[in-house]
């Protein structure tokens, strides 16, 4: 990590050309801060946008159960840091997580002196966790998940990762399967408390806007949601392979890439089809209905896109990438088709399929053929939408359970240090 530090700093500076947030407060990446040193924080690390959004109900539950705690929020990506600002209140702080070098993490812990550290989902930082153990700082892995595939990879790097896993005080896992795999990885205490993503509620006004736009459309909307590399091209190929009448497609096709740095790349791909297309960033009073292809090039508007779509294809599940968060689609009442690769959300995918909220298909070609049938079957889509809403509502409560564990640990830690 010491050798890689100049390269990582240069990479973040380079990314700052498109995402200026990466150039903010660069010394924090080395554990150097302008604000005075202080102590007594509950420190929560949410690496990126997805983890930060998942942390929102947990932060709300923590504040309800311990109104006077001060939150130290750290991130690694610019999108996570931007979203995290909305979670702050007076007395809180937000900084970058430092690089995982011994000096940087010791400076971070010495400056902030947190009483409890919380890492979201899958984070493991060997130097940071070694320094935390040295400082007798308990580290909790919250909303923890570990797929069988990740476990196998971790076991191949056991000399590096097992000591870090053994230094986790407790893992609050999404499922019993996750808890069992975490124990096999070396975590001494792991308990299943549920998935925070079920406690996320889509912004009602954003969702309503999407639904209003859908009502004004004359054609159904098929969306590829949170897509990853290769999936957009495969979708376009699969659409071209359908036996459709000559002329415009019978649907609008909306593509929403997972990463903002890929917006321009996907825009070029859509333009190369020769079909009329438009970007969300160019819309004023709603979608460009003269376009067949739409690019969702905005952040934090997934409820709007799910409200606009009649049917969604789950990005990340058609390549061996583990899938994306399908719970948000269900909570928005959007029917979902998913590919074979959902190992990052294995139980949620199984439950959604069992509830009738989602259907699994073998590849994007099969997804497009199934979509063609479903887009002509309002009754089937309405049943999937209703099943999705029920599925999302039935699994809420993880935030309250996690917050209770964290507040108890934080309180004991503060009493010990008093």
Q: For the segment 98-119, what is each residue's pLDDT rounded down to a tens digit?
A: 999 999 999 999 999 999 999 9
**Cα separation values, 220 from 216, 309, 340, Å:** 10, 7, 25
Q: Give the pLDDT of the chain (418 residues) as one tens digit per residue.
A: 899 999 999 999 999 998 899 999 999 999 999 999 888 999 999 999 989 999 999 999 999 999 999 999 999 999 999 999 999 999 999 999 999 999 999 999 999 999 999 999 988 889 999 999 999 999 999 999 998 888 998 888 888 889 999 999 999 999 999 999 999 999 999 999 999 999 999 999 999 999 999 999 989 999 999 999 999 999 999 999 998 888 889 999 999 999 888 999 999 999 999 999 999 999 988 999 999 999 999 988 999 999 999 999 999 999 999 999 899 999 999 999 999 999 988 889 999 999 999 999 999 999 999 999 999 999 999 999 999 999 999 999 999 999 999 999 999 998 877 6
What residues have CB less than 8 Å from 306, skipping those under 6 apart? Answer: 202, 207, 210, 223, 225, 312, 328, 329, 332, 333, 334
Residue 243 lies in a domain: yes
For residue 406, the surrounding DSSP H or E stretch is: helix 398-417
DSSP string, 357-393: SEEE-SSHHHHHHHHHHHTT-HHHHHHHHHHHHHHHH
Is residue 260 one of the residues assigned to a domain?
A: yes
Cβ atoms 344, 51 nearer than 8 A: no
Residue 199 within any structural domain of the chain: no
Structural domain range at position 304: 204-394
Are 170 and 232 contained in the same domain? no
Asked if 411 and 307 sit in the same domain, the reply is no
28: annotated active-site residue? no
**Sheet-wide strand order for 42-45:** 93-96, 71-75, 42-45, 116-120, 139-144, 170-173, 190-192
Ranges of H-type helices in 148-287: 148-156, 158-166, 176-185, 204-216, 231-241, 263-271
Same domain, 282 and 408: no
| Same domain (yes/no): 56, 172 | yes
Structural domains in the chain (count):
2
Q: Does the residue 335 lie in any domain? A: yes
Closest CA to 365 of 277, 239, 260: 239
Is the domain of 11 the same as that of 140? yes
In this structure, are 370 and 401 located in the same domain?
no
Q: Are residues 287 and 148 in the same domain?
A: no
Query: Which CATH number belongs to the domain containing residue 214 in this structure?
Result: 3.40.50.2000
Q: Quick one: 279 and 161 in the same domain?
A: no
Element of type H or E holding 39: none
> Do residue 227 and residue 167 come from a single domain?
no
2 lies in a domain? no
Burial of 53 (0-12, 13-18, 19+ CB in 10 A): buried
* Residue of 19, 28, 51, 123 with catalytic role: 51
pLDDT per residue over 5-44, tens digit each?
999 999 999 999 988 999 999 999 999 999 998 889 999 9
Q: For the domain that residue 84 is a member of, what is the CATH number? A: 3.40.50.11720
Are residues 115 and 88 both part of a single domain?
yes
Q: Are residues 274 and 344 in the same domain?
A: yes
d(CA 377, CA 360): 17
Predicted confidence (pLDDT) per residue in 214-224, tens digit: 999 989 999 99
160 and 220, same domain (yes or no): no
How far out from the chain centre does Cα 5 lie? Answer: 26
């Amino acid at each position: 990590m010491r050798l890689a530090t100049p390269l990582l700093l240069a990479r973040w500076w380079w990314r700052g050309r498109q995402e200026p947030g990466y150039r903010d407060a660069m010394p924090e990446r080395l554990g150097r801060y302008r604000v005075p040193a202080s102590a007594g924080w509950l420190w929560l690390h949410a690496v990126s946008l997805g983890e930060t959004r998942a942390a929102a109900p947990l932060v709300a539950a923590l504040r309800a159960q311990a109104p006077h705690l001060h939150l130290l929020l750290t991130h690694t990506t610019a999108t996570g840091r931007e979203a995290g600002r909305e979670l702050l209140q007076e007395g809180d702080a937000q900084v970058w997580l430092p690089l995982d070098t011994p000096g940087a993490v010791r400076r971070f812990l010495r400056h902030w002196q947190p009483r409890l550290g919380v890492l979201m989902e899958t984070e493991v930082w060997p130097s940071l966790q070694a320094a935390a153990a040295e400082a007798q700082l308990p580290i909790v892995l919250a909303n923890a998940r570990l797929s069988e595939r990740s476990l196998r990879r971790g076991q191949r790097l056991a000399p590096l990762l097992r000591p870090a896993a053994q230094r986790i005080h407790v893992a609050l896992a999404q499922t019993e399967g996750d808890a069992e795999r975490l124990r096999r990885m070396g975590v001494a205490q792991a308990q299943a408390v549920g998935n925070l993503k079920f406690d996320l509620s889509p912004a009602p006004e954003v969702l309503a806007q999407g639904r209003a736009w859908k009502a004004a459309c004359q054609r159904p909307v098929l969306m590829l949601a949170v897509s990853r590399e290769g999936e957009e091209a495969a979708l376009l190929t699969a659409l071209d392979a359908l036996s459709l009448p000559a002329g415009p497609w019978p649907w609008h096709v909306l593509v929403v890439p997972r990463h903002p740095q890929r917006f321009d790349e996907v825009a070029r791909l859509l333009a190369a089809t020769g079909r009329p297309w438009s970007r969300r960033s160019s819309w004023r009073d709603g979608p460009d209905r003269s376009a067949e292809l739409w690019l969702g090039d905005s952040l934090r508007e997934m409820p709007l896109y799910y409200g606009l779509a009649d049917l969604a294809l789950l990005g990340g599940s058609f390549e061996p990438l583990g899938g994306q968060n399908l719970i948000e689609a269900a909570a928005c009442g959007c029917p979902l088709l998913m590919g074979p690769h959902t190992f990052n959300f294995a139980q949620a995918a199984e439950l959604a399929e069992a509830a009738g909220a989602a259907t699994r298909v073998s590849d994007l070609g099969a997804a497009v053929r199934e979509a063609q049938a479903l887009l002509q079957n309002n009754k089937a889509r309405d049943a999937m939408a209703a099943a999705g809403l029920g599925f999302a509502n039935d699994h809420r409560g993880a935030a309250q359970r996690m917050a209770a564990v964290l507040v108890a640990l934080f309180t004991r830690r503060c009493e010990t240090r008093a």
